[in-house]
């Protein structure tokens, strides 16, 4: 029941974003505050954290970012700007762990803010999962 309610909330939030948030605003470069960008991940990138991050990603992120994390999720074609491709080495190199955490936690435009439904360590686990993709 809890997951159904959260999914419904996320879909409603995304729908609201489609109706209210101008695409031009969300297409602007994402500026992460310097102090947020410098944050270090306090969650060890072990198998447990990566597995937890993958589960959260598949449940909450794959619909837009794709099951392969390539930015080609089922909803991706309707989004402007398109979802990030976490397999893109240039993108992943340009974004610190703090950047990824901030963007995931705070959202913008049609990207929902996940800090209202996820614990901080869960968001860090998603960052660990995303980082693990580049090591395969």
How many whole angstroms separate alpha carbon 56 and alpha carbon 39? 21
How many whole angstroms separate alpha carbon 49 and alpha carbon 129? 8
Write down the pTM of the prediction: 0.80
Instruction: Collect all residues with Cβ–Cβ distance below 8 Å to 57 and sequence separation of at least 6.
Output: 65, 69, 126, 129, 130
CA 71, 102, 14, 26 torsion: positive or negative? negative
Radius of gyration, alpha carbons of the chain: 14
Q: Which domains does the chain have, with CATH numbers?
A: 2-21+33-133 (1.10.760.10)
- Please report, in tens digits, the pLDDT of each residue of the chain (136 residues total): 555 665 655 555 555 455 444 444 456 788 999 999 999 999 999 999 999 999 999 999 999 999 999 999 999 999 988 999 999 999 999 999 999 999 999 999 999 999 999 999 999 999 999 999 987 6
* Contact of 86 with 69, CB cutoff 8 Å: yes
pLDDT in tens, 90-118: 999 999 999 999 999 999 999 999 999 99
Amino acid 24: pLDDT: 47
How many whole angstroms separate alpha carbon 96 and alpha carbon 9? 29
Q: How far is CA 77 from CA 11, 54, 66, 73, 132, in A?
A: 16, 23, 11, 8, 26
């Amino acid at each position: 029941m809890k997951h159904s309610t959260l999914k419904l909330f996320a879909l409603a939030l995304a729908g609201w974003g489609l109706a209210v948030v101008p695409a031009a605003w969300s297409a602007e470069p994402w500026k992460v505050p310097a102090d947020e960008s410098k944050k270090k991940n306090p969650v060890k990138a072990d198998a447990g954290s990566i597995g937890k991050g993958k589960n959260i990603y598949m449940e909450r992120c794959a619909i837009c970012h794709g099951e392969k994390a390539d930015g080609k999720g089922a909803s991706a074609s309707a989004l402007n700007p398109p979802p990030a491709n976490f397999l893109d080495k240039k993108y992943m190199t340009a974004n610190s762990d703090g950047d990824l955490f901030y963007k995931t936690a705070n959202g913008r435009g049609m990207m929902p803010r996940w800090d209202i439904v996820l614990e901080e360590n869960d968001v860090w686990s998603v960052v660990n999962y995303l980082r693990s993709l580049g090591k395969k």
